[in-house]
Chain A
Amino acid sequence: MASSHNAPTPDYAELHCISNFSFLRGASHPEELVTRAIELGYQAIAITDECSLSGVVRAHMAAKGQAIKLIIGSEFILEDNTHFVLLARDRKGYGQISKLITQARRVAEKGSYLLKRADLTELNPEHCVALWIPPADLHTIDSEALVWLNQVFPKYLWIAAELFLTHNDKQRLKQLKELSSQTHIALCAAGGVHMHCKERKPLHDILTGIRLGKAVSELAFDTFPNSEHYLRPKAKLAKIYPRKLLQETTKISQLCDFSLSELRYEYPSEIVPPTHSAQSWLTHLVAEGTQRRWPQGVSKKVSDLIQHELRLVEELSYAPYFLTVYDIVQFARSQNILCQGRGSAANSVICFCLGITEVDPERMNLLFERFISKERDEPPDIDVDFEHERREEVIQYIYKKYGRDRTALAATVITYRTKSALRDVGKALGMSLDQVDRLAKSVNWWQQGQFDEDELRGLGFNPHSPVLKMLLAAVSEILGFPRHLSQHVGGFIISEGLLSELVPIENAAMPERTVIQWEKDDLEAIGLLKVDVLALGMLTAIRKALSYINDYAPKPIAFKDIPAEDPGVYEMIQRADTVGVFQIESRAQMSMLPRLKPANYYDLVIEIAIVRPGPIQGDMVHPYLNHRRNGTEENYPSEAVKKVLQRTLGIPIFQEQVMQLAIVAASFTPGEADQLRRAMAAWKRKGGLEKFEDKLLRGMQENGYDQAFAQRIFSQIKGFGDYGFPESHSASFALLAYASSWLKCYHPAAFTCALLNSQPMGFYGASQLVIDAKAHGVTVLPIDVNKSFYDCVLEIDRRKKKIALRLGFRLVKNLSENSAKAISETRKQTPFSSVQELMDRVGLNKADLESLAAADALESLSGNRHRAHWQAQGAEPVSSTLLKTEEDKTNVMLRTPSEIEDIENDYDNVGLTLRRHPVALLRDYLYGRHAFQTRQLHDIPNGGLAKVAGLVIGRQRPGTASGVIFVTLEDESGQANVVVWPKIAEEQSKVLLQSQLLMVSGVVQKDEGVLHLIARKLEDLSFCLGELKIKSRDFH
């Protein structure tokens, strides 16, 4: 023993360590484990989550460049409870583990796995190290499992001795030593680590409680007796384990020589014809595209850009990536599915030539490094939006083309957020369901943020109670902990070989969908290709609108034929007449339009980007508007800066401008500038902007810029924070905003029809869309069983040259699509003359008939809603009578529905009414209360007092508006925008949040064509509405 006191502490490699990606088992993030292991001077650490590699990329990033080896492995518990850990020795071993996880996960339900002994027989034992984890209970140690494992891994199997200062450590070690000498399988130390530091023990207990559905006080022996499952200092380990066992760990770690950096992504090969290389094929396609885009010949600027891009693409070998996306886009086009690339891809001329994006590089100031950068060494990210109703066709194409073993969706790690954390932790701490519920529900958009003591008291809690302190402490720790894997909205990963050997694949919640165990950031970090196949409702609406227009237009029109820069369209946009238009229809956008007055495409690009939290918080909006109004610009300290900022009058509005400024003024390389962009996006959460601050200020100083300018630029960068908007993104969106504006301006009926047929999407519901269409002179006809179809349609009277919009059955609540289609199909022969006949011929059931009656779609057969219901209720299916059913001719005394009843039922069953606006019915009463129509507000001078009442159709509390709530009221004359300051909102919160019909007294504020009513007094008039239910759209 004496010798061990003098000997230096032996090196140690932790070989069994689970992170919080073993959901609800591990109590530390992978990064925390790696960082702590580095601090403790471990030689290596293995991340061995249970049947998962989800956390390894994060661990890999944390270990990158540090003095520690990261071993990749996984822990498994077989069906017969045999417990072992596999560690990858090399790339093949990694592939085997990944494949094994895939195999185990694919045969089980989402979130679980099933592994049998037989599943391991195909493994090549040379490529993995196996550690047998003996059971905790000494009595159940069964050498049979060990013998079997030894047959599978004859050369690289160890017995892991895990000692946790429990009563039987000594006996356990003795027993394992005996087993080792009997079987000639070496013994090694292992930590069975579940947390990086012992202070996480309470959180570990809470996680165990959540996993088992018990309160921590009920856990008894289900949790650990102490906190020894943490990363213990080497000196401490030396006291617990014999020296030899610790030395054995480093020996094992030396056997494992695999790093995630070795993963090489291989692009699918079928996208290149045999006679070409990927690069030559790409060059060929780009050349073709150039001819198509610029038939008159290409400018030198563009030609240089293309060469530059192709060179960089070749250097980084990204050609197959472009070809993969091109192939998908080509498929969509061949099927007439509208699609458009967006995001940083719009910075690329190659993408424009390939038809992936539509942003003309000559109209924009592109920054290719935002898209691909050499320093970043990350694959480019191309997001392609497809029509939301037809995206599935594209997804099926990808599956079919590359096969399910080579394609899967990226995962999204669902993590604990405040509400879910409060619920789960509260339950685990033994709080009653209603208490937990009360706490969790109060963290809604209204209260947003943290609790304060008064709030807690208001909820009936004592803020000083120990349980509450434990709760809040545990909640803040558990925030961000992964809870389960879900599927990414549309990020596909496609590989040349078996994907399961690259990353494990598991089942998603949707049948027939599979997800890999890594999410977007992991893929980016490892450098794997991801193609984003996203869904966009507006593309569906635009395609539909164009097809309706082609039904009556003399000349067919396609998306590309929409005339550019039409002054009429911009005039409409400047009036903020943009209900239904893509992106610029929100309340905030509509308030900005009359001020910014977009007059061309680039103004739209700015409009979209400027109404964002980034520019607002960075205080860029007012300076920009001032310059625009006065025709002035900022003073530029240099020509180079002027070149960057001139297009936005000297105010940096886009992310790209910040990057360019860093390049031209502070001598950043494009790659460094991109790192700056990333740091900007994350600094509020993680910090890390400081190192750029020095570099930026120093660089600008060296280039002769004064301190004040440099500081101003840096503070603007900070203000941008998370929310800076890329110009390229805005440019793609502006195209759709313009196209939808053109449709609204010149074809309002077709546009509204398309929007109605693409719901749910956008900012406004069917009711507001129809009201707006009517205001634009569109004739809207009610749903009629003898005239409507499933979709809303245009009724074209060619003789009178009139177009009307007929509402479709899709708006009828509770009517199935099949029934609706059967009605229009059956009606082709001859129209229906009675409700009974409708039932007989179409084979509808009573519920369908009653849904139609409720929607007033039977009015042409029955006269009114009450009679329609009576007849629908009395109709009998043919099968229930021997003879042909007789029409119910009984003349019963039924009341005619009142107008308000009809309106109520319209809203209730169709979601909109074509009758009078409900507020119109109350107009006399409202005049009696001295309330104006919303339209009359424009007649009141700025600063004048006014009172209006209307249905609350929206409440917004933007994060940037420091507690101000914006309410949109609607009456028969239009809409009013009400601003409620925090003080009023607080004082009158009940009325503000609960009113359906709200009367507001306040002061009229007019500014550059934008009218607001600043609320002073609110009054709930909902009682006037009776049964009418209007659903407000409340946004954060």
Chain B
Amino acid sequence: MAKPRLVQAPLPLEYTEQTPTRRVANHKAGPSHLWLAIQFPNIAIEISHPQAKTSASVTAQTVKGRLVVCSTSALAEETGIHIGMAVNAAYALCPGVHVFEHDEKRVANTMTELAAWAMQYTSYVSLYNSNTLLLEIRGSLKLFGQLENIKTSIKSQLQLQGHDTILSCTPSPSASYLLTCFGAEADIFDTDQLRSALGDIPIAVLDVNQKTKKRLANIGTQTLRDLWRLPKPELRKRFGNDFVLYLDHLTADSPEVQKKFAPKATFTADSVFYWGIEDCESLLLEVKKLVLKFIDYLRKTDLCTSSYRFNLYHFAEKDLTGIDINLRKADRDVDYIFSVLEKYFDKLQLKGKIYRLELCVDKLEYFHTKSETMLENTFHEETAIYSGQNKALSELIDQLQNRLGSAHITGIGLVNDYRPEHAYQFSSSATNELSHYRPDRPLALLPEASSLNVDVSLISGPERLQTAWWSENKINRDYYIAKDKAGRRLWIYHDLSKRQWFIHGLFA
């Protein structure tokens, strides 16, 4: 057991900004920072599907009601498809193109993971934008020997993870990024070399808004070199302070603030199974893989957790099964966690194939946090449904659900559906919503309607139900309340399509 800490540092809940302490004034002394930009030009494609990169694929999302291409694989690009093009147009150019949903959240999560991964090279990592990381590596040069070693290591490791990269290193973060955008892999150590290295970069690549680019094109400037010929006060007058400051950043004439990446106090990771998983054994294997990744993260960040949320996605993205596993105390012991998971997944019944597994943890604690008693931890505020006099009942339900599994303790709720067999549902959080309660319907429906083989006399009806024609469960029936010879009141129907009689329920 590790020593308890006396003074606890605040949790790294947010990114923090860090301004370089020393202004680059003395060029001869060399710049204080060296920024390595790692650009992931194909990140969205890479995470969309394992084969996406090697086939004609695009990712797309809806913009102003139109589905447009957001990223393309090299093969797709060869067919003429480009970013911003409507997906229909892409189909016209390449009928066999694979279109994947552009999942910005997944891209952001992956970039966050990569930023955390990159912290092994330096403590100063910045998540520059949606596809670029900036690493301040001046201090790491000693440790790794030389820049080339760092770059080789980064490139090869990321390649193993399936990521294409463009790396550039300069004393200016903006310049490093700009060079990667231009596709240039440059190593510049001296600020004096920046001007000549950047001079040929076209205006179109600059990290400024489209309007500014258009206005720069209007005055005939084509490259940064053209811009440097113009007097700064005049540029400031026309394009504003921020723009001139940006130019100064590029040449490291002015210090630049970069947000320092800090691991978030939440964790999200996922695995995608294009073939679909349908048995618990295979699923558990994948769950363990994710958990191992998570534990690794916990160790690196010195955190732990007591609550896990697994989302099992079925075919449609909205169709998911959520599993919450709460431990008695926050921990990161692999064996213990695995044993809990095995018990849980052993009794789990999958309702269909799983195509994506997601682990979300949003309560991270420092590893040596105080332990809670079993009693305290049994009830979470979030799971409490009822209040007041029902509290005791709810506590009992919670307790039973935790012990037996939530699927085994359910209630009945009414659903707005004309079809009797779809007009109720079992759910773990049954509500008291009974406004549509119909006394003329039996409380108990037969699990399945059966043929009516006895003589009955009709008491009331018909109630005609013809609906759900759009689904396999369409119905076309006349319902009656009837009485059999034994005096039982039955709920029967005449199937108007099959022209057959069925018994569907019994009145008490």
Contact = CB atoms under 8 A, between A and B. Distances in A.
B2 interface: no
A458 interface: yes
B62 interface: yes
B152 interface: no
Nearest to B92: A990
A990 B93 contact: yes
B465 A226 contact: yes
Nearest to A901: B220
Given A890-B234, A892-B234, A226 B464 contact: yes
A488 interface: no
B465 A853 contact: no
Contacts of B237: 874
Given A225-B418, A434-B67, A460-B91, A894 B219 contact: yes
In this complex, which of A201, A434, A869 has the most chain B Cβ atoms within 10 angstroms of its Cβ?
A434
Interface stretch (A164-172, A835-843, A972-980): A164-172
B427 interface: no
Interface string A213-250: 00011001101011110000000000000000000000
Interface in B55-93: 60, 62, 65-67, 87-88, 91-93
B215 A165 contact: no
Interface in A2-20: none
Interface stretch (B110-118, B353-361, B378-386, B466-474): B466-474
A433 B67 CA distance: 9
Contact of A202 (B92, B438, B470): B470
Nearest to A873: B238
Contacts, number: 113
A892 B471 contact: no
Contacts of A167: 438, 440-441, 463, 479
A201 B65 contact: no
Interface string A127-165: 000000000000000000000000000000000000011
A434 B101 CA distance: 11
Given A166-B463, A202-B469, A874-B238, A221 B226 contact: no
B95 interface: yes
A893 B479 CA distance: 89
A892 B67 contact: no
Chain B interface helix/strand/loop/mixed = mixed
B501 to A, nearest CB: 17
B470 A216 contact: yes
Contact of A892 (B95, B215, B231): B231
A201 B466 contact: yes
A897 interface: yes
Interface stretch (A69-77, A436-444, A911-919): A436-444
Interface string B214-244: 0100111110001001110010011100000
A437 B229 contact: no
A990 to B, nearest CB: 7
B120 interface: no
Chain A interface helix/strand/loop/mixed = helix
A548 interface: no
Contacts of A430: 470
B417 interface: yes
A870 B467 contact: no
A441 to B, nearest CB: 5
B411 interface: no
A796 interface: no
A201 B418 CA distance: 15
Given A167-B440, A201-B466, A429-B470, A220 B417 contact: yes
Nearest to A228: B464
A542 B12 CA distance: 75
B462 interface: yes
A921 interface: no
A870 B219 contact: yes
A167 B218 CA distance: 74
Contact of B218 (A220, A850, A893): A850
A310 interface: no
A225 B464 contact: yes
Interface in B461-490: 462-471, 478-479
Contacts of A198: 466
B21 interface: no
Contacts of A216: 470
Nearest to B233: A890
A464 interface: no
Interface in A979-1009: 990
A981 B481 CA distance: 69
Contact of A893 (B66, B67, B229): B229
10 contacts: A167-B463, A202-B470, A226-B467, A429-B470, A434-B87, A437-B66, A458-B95, A869-B218, A893-B230, A895-B220
Given A434-B60, A438-B87, 8 more contacts: A164-B464, A437-B67, A441-B88, A470-B470, A866-B220, A873-B218, A894-B220, A990-B92
Return the 6 tightest CB-CB contacts between A and B, nearest first.
Answer: A866-B220, A220-B416, A165-B464, A869-B218, A895-B220, A434-B67
